[in-house]
Structure 1
Amino acid sequence: MCNPLDLAYRYQDIRASGSRDGTDHGEPRRSVHREAADPSVVLYRGRFYMFVSMSAGFWHSADLLRWEYRATSKLPALDYAPDVREIDGALHISASRKEANCPFFRSVDPLADDFVEVTPGTFPFWDPNLFQDDDGAVYLYWGCDNKTPLYGVRLSDTFERIGEPEPLIRADVAAHGWEQVGEDLAATPTRPEQDQLLALQGNPYIEGAWMTKHDGTYYLQYAAPATQLNTYADGYYTAPSPLGPFQYSLDSPFSSKPGGFITGAGHGSTFQDRHGNWWHASTMRISVNDDFERRIGIFPAGFDQDGVLFCNQNFADHPFVLPDGPFDPWTPPPWMLLSYKARTTASSAAPGHTPASAVDEDIRTWWAAGGRKPGESLTIDLGVSKTVHAVQVNLADHGLGDIAPPVPEGADWNPQFWRGIFPRHQPAETLVEVSQDGQRWTVVRDHRETDTDAPHAFIVLDAPLRARFVRVTGGRMPFDGVFAVSGVRVFGTGDGVAPRPVRARAGRVDGRTAHIEWDLATAATGYNIRYGRHPQKLYHSWLVYERTSLDLRSLNADAEYWVAVDAFGEGGIAPGETVPLM
């Protein structure tokens, strides 16, 4: 599989006035785009169930690879951050309402749509997470604000509070660098992003609680600083009991993906498969058409011998193999990227959306065809023949707010926004071919005339092929819109050697910030900066292209760190020497 997950994400209809922070009211605007976020995943009776925001249903899977959508009208579709946990042998679902009481629902057979409301609720909450301890006691954790803390409380058998909610954790920007509000300093925020950063006023959102118990310790996970940012991540506190006292982990954030093709890895859930392997699902951001334009990613995770919670997010948007048994979560990717900055040509192009945008390893830029008829195509020239194992085709939502029909039902989101969810999926069909000479083509996947909805199709070839050219042709598109591609990503092996190793030159700028430099490496496509609190535990990473320096702003002020820079290219990965951050 390859992140982001290829799900039939539901389309949203967002209508608003003025700027995104609500400070003025100009011409009305409309965005129609896919959205899914805040994944809550559980393994229940041998099947994985995943509930995500703004989906009017849920996904289920037997293997984490193939997911099937199931709609339901029995759960509130417009309540954000749905939470699902197994309580007393049944699934229980709740979601977010800031001002109204939040109901709880129960199901023993979700595929039969047997959801029933067990209580209308007795109090409001946002970003909930239910947790049942080994003794049967049930707790609720919640919070989503840049002023208030995360709360916890024990619940009765009827899901009423037992006692008053306890404030558990708050933001501490002075000590926790990753909680700082802001983008990677090497990037230039767009105007809407600048508006969002100004609206936050330096105060991060602390949100997305998730509780995991491991070896008698309670791990309270949370997200910060904001879902619209590339630095969106998950950290954690630990405690000897469900309601604390909680101690911050200096290994936070444990889930973080600020670089690469798609960024962000916050507000998620940590769960085990049937083999005992740990996984972490989280929110990945696009945030171009709208702040809440997001996707879902799943990453190998685990606990080390010292009880440190980690995710392997090295090359976290490259392919990885889903195991059919216990496995090493630090297994490297089987193939490397072959298509970065390859020559591209297209049948046509809309202004400002050139073919090169499909190979720049940035999901936030895309090529768009100049017209809406099926048959528009994009061709990637790898330069020379290479061994191709897989192709990922990532589609973009281009100008759909101008052509999509109105959603018949919706609701006010706040005084500035109205939103609705389109009731039906939309086909997103493509034809993918490869060629040695650009004349004779071999079909590797043809979704045309199949009504397939595959916005992030990941195509593993039945057998590797030698190819120089990859061509993607559009069939029917959502709302009969423009064929638009944010990334044609070709994976496999080149015939060259691996890059030479590089050595990091790293120093602490202040308690929360380090400056890292390295030299260019011959045959390197990019660099993966790994860092951590122990030279043998470089659990954090940041993937970059065409850079030889990085200002790392995500450090904890009271912790020591080590860092290594791995050069990577078509010939493989060259691990760098680990050096201390002085």
Structure 2
Amino acid sequence: MKKIITLVSFMSVFGACSQENNSAAKPVEAVAKNIFVADPTIFYSKGTYYLYGTTTGNVANGEGFLVYTSPDLKKWSEPKGAQNGLALKKGDAFGDKGFWAPQILEYNKKFYMIYTANENIAVASSDSPLGPFKNESKKPVIETGNQIDPFIFIDEDGKKYLYHVKLTNGNRIFVAEINDDLQSIKPETLTECISGTLPWENTENTSWPVTEGPTVLKHNGLYYLIYSANDFRNIDYAVGYATSKSPLGPWEKSKDSPVISRKNTGQNGIGHGDIFWDQNQKMHYVLHTHFSTAEVSPRKAAVIDVEFTGNELKAVPGSFNFLKN
């Protein structure tokens, strides 16, 4: 499960002045600040990268989703959303709390945001990645039960699939075909994909095992379901994957999982992100980490390079870095 986090920042300046030699003061230098979002996603369009994620409902910005921009993945802006930094804000959206885990999709000459609110899934649209995104319907995409962490995958044949997490005897990943208007699913196709059954997926042996944050892609005819496991507050929160010959499964979990964890990054609570490709078609995974070894929140956004070796998905050693502005 996720929690709302707080967006904080700090700034340091350095200056010096010597009266003895009457030299000028040193220029003020801004120190790069971590970007504090959880469950992040990065969307690339026309030379600009857009970063979204689970943020805070603070007084300055209001509730919804902030969006940051970058021309190069190195230097990020302050929030640039159309409404006080927000790409989608409470009031234009379904629900009124728990705005989590957005995904951005360009489809039919519009931009769509698929997201969680009130532990349900909704879809909003806009003419710009900066928003304002607004919901056509104030109903959730799935009207029974509680579900979070949506991800829409469009296959080569045009069929569309909504991967998501059902809150039922654990956080379990499900999939269903979603209709062309992206507003409802085909309930007869609803299928369970995976749950937390392996030792690395439940290191605390809880009665509510967690698999969440699905992202799906296709490579060499195989479907890859990339997911995070363990409670997000657990230092062993990590990223693994499963493969299938069909978008509906059955899924075979990789024996190499977890492929991104504290063991190969040095960061606690690392996971729940999204695959994206940069302007040079290089593949990356954006994710979040704990704030420190002692505190979970506010969680920090970061990127790590990933690549295929044959049909195995691997993280590139030494490529991890935090996102800053």
Shorter-chain TM range is 0.7 to 0.9
Which of 237, 245, 248 aligns to 1:243? It is 248
User: Are 1:151 and 1:168, in contact at CA under 8 Å, matched by a contact in 2?
Assistant: yes
1:157 aligned counterpart, secondary structure: coil
1:169 counterpart = 2:194:
yes
User: Are 1:49 and 1:61, in contact at CA under 8 Å, matched by a contact in 2?
Assistant: yes
Partner of 2:164: 142
Query: What is the CA deviation profile of residues 53-109 of structure 1, one whole-angstrom value per residue up to 9, with x for unaligned ones?
Result: 01541112221112122212633474111222333343311222355x532111232
Deviation at 1:260? 6.3
Q: Distance in 1 between matches of 2:38 and 2:161?
A: 23
Q: Distance in 2 between matches of 1:144 and 1:290?
A: 27
User: Are 1:228 and 1:287, in contact at CA under 8 Å, matched by a contact in 2?
Assistant: no
1:130 counterpart = 2:130:
no
User: Are 2:171 and 2:212, in contact at CA under 8 Å, matched by a contact in 1?
Assistant: no
1:246 counterpart letter in structure 2 = W
Identity rate of aligned residues, in percent?
26
Partner of 1:153: 176
Q: Distance in 2 between matches of 1:236 and 1:242?
A: 14
Query: What is the CA deviation profile of residues 185-240 of structure 1, one whole-angstrom value per residue up to 9, with x for unaligned ones?
Result: xxxxxxxxxxxxxxx73643111111112222211111011212222111111112
User: For residues 133 and 260 of structure 1, do their structure 2 counterparts lie closer, same or farther at Cα, with a shift above 3 Å needed?
Assistant: closer
Partner of 2:72: 63
Partner of 1:74: 88
Which of 84, 93, 105 aligns to 2:104? It is 84
Partner of 1:105: 124
User: Are 1:48 and 1:60, in contact at CA under 8 Å, matched by a contact in 2?
Assistant: yes
User: Are 1:149 and 1:170, in contact at CA under 8 Å, matched by a contact in 2?
Assistant: yes
User: Are 1:80 and 1:95, in contact at CA under 8 Å, matched by a contact in 2?
Assistant: yes
Superposition pairs of residues 354-365 of structure 1, within 5 angstroms: none
1:307 counterpart = 2:311:
yes
User: For residues 227 and 313 of structure 1, do their structure 2 counterparts lie closer, same or farther at Cα, with a shift above 3 Å needed?
Assistant: farther
Query: What is the CA deviation profile of residues 102-145 of structure 1, one whole-angstrom value per residue up to 9, with x for unaligned ones?
Result: 3211123223x342323333425201111112222221111165
Q: Distance in 2 between matches of 1:272 and 1:48?
A: 10
User: For residues 315 and 239 of structure 1, do their structure 2 counterparts lie closer, same or farther at Cα, with a shift above 3 Å needed?
Assistant: closer
User: For residues 73 and 91 of structure 1, do their structure 2 counterparts lie closer, same or farther at Cα, with a shift above 3 Å needed?
Assistant: closer
2:200 aligned counterpart, secondary structure: helix
Partner of 1:116: 134
Which of 267, 273, 279 aligns to 2:278? It is 273
Unaligned runs of 5+ in 2: 1-5, 10-34, 57-64, 91-96
Partner of 1:316: 320
Number of residue pairs matched?
270
TM-score for both structures, normalised by structure 2? 0.73
What's the RMSD between the two structures over aligned residues?
3.0
Deviation at 1:287? 6.4
Deviation at 1:45? 2.8
TM-score for both structures, normalised by structure 1? 0.42
User: For residues 81 and 232 of structure 1, do their structure 2 counterparts lie closer, same or farther at Cα, with a shift above 3 Å needed?
Assistant: same
Larger radius of gyration: 1
Deviation at 1:168? 0.9
Deviation at 1:241? 1.9
Partner of 2:201: 179
2:186 aligned counterpart, secondary structure: strand
Partner of 2:236: 231
Deviation at 1:251? 1.7
Query: What is the CA deviation profile of residues 465-489 of structure 1, one whole-angstrom value per residue up to 9, with x for unaligned ones?
Result: xxxxxxxxxxxxxxxxxxxxxxxxx
User: For residues 98 and 59 of structure 1, do their structure 2 counterparts lie closer, same or farther at Cα, with a shift above 3 Å needed?
Assistant: same
User: Are 1:232 and 1:258, in contact at CA under 8 Å, matched by a contact in 2?
Assistant: no
User: Are 1:87 and 1:132, in contact at CA under 8 Å, matched by a contact in 2?
Assistant: no
Q: Distance in 1 between matches of 2:232 and 2:166?
A: 11
User: Are 1:150 and 1:167, in contact at CA under 8 Å, matched by a contact in 2?
Assistant: yes
User: Are 1:98 and 1:125, in contact at CA under 8 Å, matched by a contact in 2?
Assistant: no
User: For residues 119 and 297 of structure 1, do their structure 2 counterparts lie closer, same or farther at Cα, with a shift above 3 Å needed?
Assistant: same
2:89 aligned counterpart, secondary structure: coil
